[in-house]
Amino acid sequence: MTRVCFVGAGAVGGYLGAHMSKADVDVTLVDAWPEHVDAMRRKGLTVRGMNGAGSIETPVRALHVSDVPQLVREKPFDVAFIAVKSYDTEWATQLVLPYLSPTGCVVSLQNGINEETIASIAGWSRTLGCSVSALAAELVEPGLIVRNSPLGDEKKAGLRVGELHGQDTPRARLISGLLAHGDTCKVTSNLWGERWSKLTINAMRNGVCALTGMTGKQRDTNEVSRELTVRLGSSCIRVGRALGLALEPVGGLDLELLARADEDAAAHETITRMIMEVANSRSDAQRPSMGQDILKGRRTETEYINGLVARRGEEVGVDVRIHRRVNEVIKRIEKGELSPSPALLAEIVD
């Protein structure tokens, strides 16, 4: 794994690409935002970690997507990390695939569950996934990334990488070693369970911030919005179980308790305390990706988060109307028909 490419150098791709570059890994960062590419070329990448942890400044090699064809003259990549929005997965995979070595692989570093899409293009044997379990960050301006969550540790790994077939392979361990330059990383034998577990966290938190305009801490300290997150999380877990998935601990929450929290008072009390502990461990400015997207006036990943839960839930007969409502309201905000506001919670909650 001597040559690495990131397609997408935003919050996650830029953060991990910067740390690998700082560790002298041969990294190429590819991005579609011209101002960001220009800033990276001129002054490198600056990462500000929470309370200073993980902060670095480093030169990086950055290419605009239009520059990628020049890579035909270079040695091929051993691994390509896809770190773009879920709706850009297909073109990003097609973009980098001709520049991979015959034994090279593609790793999803995204929200949602996009490994199947990548595998349909690159091949199942060349595809891996990585659950970004404890990394919350934001590209706040060209060339500057701010991390708003603590670094992972041995008990709570920041990243979990795995093969689609679930085996612990040498290449998965090598990729884990690369990612460990930026945060703690482990190899998982349960990628699909990890993916649905992380989807649960995103489905219960991300959309609520997008439709209300709240930060993560504001969302969790507001009783109405917090109750909505619990209901969204519980129903998402029921869908995962109906799909036959074994869920994993993620996001500082006990998912078994979360599954019971909307009907068991003791479980509800405990999960509320866990939610508050997680909220208090993060920066006051922490805002999940879909909330960032709404502020910046761009498309969100709602169809690949709450929309995905709604589609899969309807297929297996689980009540997912609440996810469908969240998805529909966010799409109306994207179109400019609504403005994000806590008042919109009334359109979601029964």
Question: Residue 39's domain is classified under what CATH number?
Answer: 3.40.50.720
The CA-based angle 181-199-295, given to 5 degrees, is 85
Q: Among 135, 161, 189, which residue terminates a domain?
A: 189
Residue 252 predicted with pLDDT over 80:
no
- Structure confidence at residue 136 (pLDDT): 87
- Kindly tell me if the per-residue pLDDT of 1 is higher than 70: no
Give yes or no: residues 152 and 220 share one domain.
no
Give the number of other CB atoms < 10 A from CB of residue 49: 18
Q: Which residues of 116-136 are buried (b: 16+ CB within 10 A; e: fewer)?
A: ebbbebbeeebbbbbbbbbbb
Q: What total number of domains does the chain contain?
A: 2
Q: Cα(215)–Cα(287) distance, rounded to whole angstroms?
A: 5
Confidence band, pLDDT 50/70/90 cuts, at residue 46: very high
- What are 217-230's pLDDT values in tens digits? 999 999 999 999 99
Q: For residue range 174-207, what is the model confidence (pLDDT) as tens digits? A: 999 999 999 999 999 999 999 999 999 999 999 9
> How far apart are the C-alpha atoms of 17 and 47, rounded to whole Å?
11
**What is the residue range of 16's domain?**
3-189
One domain, residues 162 and 242: no
Which residues make Cβ contacts (< 8 Å) with residue 336, sequence separation at least 6? none
CATH number of the domain enclosing 328: 1.10.1040.10
Q: Are residues 163 and 248 in the same domain?
A: no
CA distance 171 to 345: 45
Q: Does residue 248 share a domain with residue 175? A: no
Task: Return all residues near 124 (Cβ < 8 A) that are at least 6 apart.
Answer: 164
Q: Averaged over 165-170, what is the pLDDT?
A: 97
Residues 172 and 278 in one domain: no
Residue of 225, 190, 193 whose CA lies nearest to 210: 225
Q: Are residues 247 and 269 in the same domain?
A: yes
Among 1-5, 144-148, 187-191, which is the least confidently predicted range?
Answer: 1-5
Q: Which residues contact 319 (CB under 8 A, 6 or more apart)?
A: 235, 313
Span 99-112, mean pLDDT? Answer: 97
Q: Are residues 254 and 185 in the same domain?
A: no
Same domain, 113 and 242: no
Residues 200 and 167 both lie in one domain: no
Q: Tell whether 31 and 100 lie within a shared domain.
A: yes
Judgement on whether residues 216 and 308 belong to the same structural domain of the protein: yes
- Give, in order, the Cα–Cα distances in Å from 163 to each of 39, 184, 261, 284: 35, 18, 32, 35
Same domain, 201 and 113: no
Q: Domain end: 157, 189, 221, which one?
A: 189
Q: Which of 189, 213, 238 is the last residue of a domain?
A: 189
